[in-house]
Amino acid sequence: MNKRLLFILPVALLIGIAVLFAVGLKHDPSIVPSVLLDKPAPSFDLAPLSNDKPGLATADLNGEVSLVNVFASWCGPCRVEHPLFMRLAEEGEVPVYGINYKDKAADAKRWLRDLGDPYTRIGVDRDGRVAIEWGVYGVPETFVIDREGTIRFKHVGPLSPEVLEETILPLVRNLQQ
Amino acid sequence: MRTLLAALLLAFSLGPAFAVEPEEMLDDPALEARAREISKELRCLVCQNQSIDDSNAGLARDLRVLVRERLTAGDSNEDALRYIVDRYGDFVLLRPPVSPRTYALWFGPSLLFVIAGLGLVVFFRRRQAAPAETPPPLTGEERARLETLMDEDRKP
């Protein structure tokens, strides 16, 4: 019995490690878990991009469930996810606030004119300092903020219809109740 | 050949290239040295296996500048590091902190080493404890068989 255990143990250990590695390989190391989840949104106050639309500050995140999207006109993946935000804006289920990251005002304005502007508010983060407060490391990033102004979810990279339908919108509806 | 060797020698004699640009640097050399020290500890999240000191990414530059601002504002090295960890998490540290979550990482290898060492010790002890049994002497029949086998070999 003891002898058999001696043979089984290494095999079991090997299988255990193999499973661990298999899981580890699937894990995408470029997605860094945010430490800001379930913490209040950082304090910031960003100037508007243009005169006809307000800027974005911490206080604006209170009172209503919202999405905050960090975007830039120079960012390719932002273009990919943009139609999803246009759709969200059309449906009006949840307001989308934009943080325009390290962009030239003229470029950003042209980008929004060409592709449509889904944002209720846009704050201009010219030097990227506010994005650091949000723990942003790759645009686009999208945050779900609850009524109390707490960060409840963060998505790094372009939004996919799957993430939107299966994760973000259910969470938004849940928070809105 | 000689030129190639010289070129190789030259290439390897160059130190690591830092991404820190002159205009980022602080005038106070002591403060700048501390900033460099901190920067080496911080991972560039865009190109993950480089420190922000080595990386040319925009975010790395922003973080370098931020570290220098914190130091100029009177932060200690720990304060400046903490400021960034609070926003980007432990992952931003190239050297993971020792905490219950990272015990396996820090102590796992030594533990495996100790277990393997113990296994070896037990293995050899056991072998020593059980002295090799002297086999029973050959029977007459076996001896005869051995003789014939040996004879066969002796034949040319």
- pLDDT per position as a tens digit, A39-62: 999 999 999 999 999 999 999 999
Question: Which H helix or E strand runs over A74?
Answer: none
Going by pLDDT thresholds of 50, 70 and 90, the confidence category of residue A172 is very high
Is some CB atom of chain A closer than 8 A to the CB atom of B94? no
Average pLDDT of chain A, as a whole number: 92
Q: What is the DSSP string of A116-162?
A: ----SEEEEESSSHHHHHTT--SSSEEEEE-TTSBEEEEEESS--HH
- According to the model, what pLDDT value does residue B4 have? 73
CB contact under 8 A, A138 and B48: no
pLDDT greater at residue B76 or residue B22: B76
pLDDT at A65 over 90: yes
CA distance B99 to chain A (A): 16
**Cβ atoms within 10 A of the Cβ of A85, count?**
24
**Cβ atoms within 10 A of the Cβ of A133, count?**
17
Is some CB atom of chain A closer than 8 A to the CB atom of B63? yes
- pLDDT per position as a tens digit, B76-105: 999 999 999 999 988 899 988 888 888 888
Q: What is the DSSP string of B121-137?
A: HHHHHHHHHSPPPPPPP
Report, at the CATH architecture level, how domain A31-176 is classified: 3-Layer(aba) Sandwich (3.40)
The shortest CB-CB distance from B88 to any of A29, A35, A42 is to A35
Task: Please name the residue that has the structure tokens 């370098």.
Answer: B64
Confirm whether the ipTM is greater than 0.90. no
Which stretches within B2-139 are classed as H helix? 2-13, 29-41, 58-72, 77-88, 103-129
Going by pLDDT thresholds of 50, 70 and 90, the confidence category of residue A95 is very high
- According to the model, what pLDDT value does residue B129 have? 79
The shortest CB-CB distance from B59 to any of A29, A30, A137 is to A137
Residue A151's φ and ψ, nearest 5 degrees, are -75, 120
CB contact under 8 A, B88 and A127: no
CB contact under 8 A, A36 and B62: no
Q: Residues near A105 by Cβ (< 8 Å), separated by ≥ 6?
A: A49, A50, A124
Going by pLDDT thresholds of 50, 70 and 90, the confidence category of residue B15 is low
> Residue A101 class from Cβ within 10 Å (0-12 exposed, 13-18 middle, 19+ buried)?
buried
Lowest-confidence range among A8-12, A51-55, A148-152? A8-12
CB contact under 8 A, A138 and B87: no
| The dihedral formed by the CA atoms of A75, A91, A42 and B38, expressed in degrees to the nearest 10 | -30
pLDDT at B148 over 70: yes
- According to the model, what pLDDT value does residue A106 have? 95
Residues 43-62 of B with CB under 8 A from A: 45-46, 48, 58-59, 62
pLDDT at A6 over 90: no
- According to the model, what pLDDT value does residue B16 have? 54
pTM of this structure: 0.76
Overall average pLDDT of the B12-17 stretch: 58
| Pairwise CA distance, residues B16 & B145, whole Å | 74
- According to the model, what pLDDT value does residue B132 have? 67
| Pairwise CA distance, residues A47 & A1, whole Å | 74
Which residue ranges make up each domain of chain A? 31-176
The closest of A170, A141, A161 to A37, measured between CA atoms, is A141
CA distance A29 to chain B (A): 9
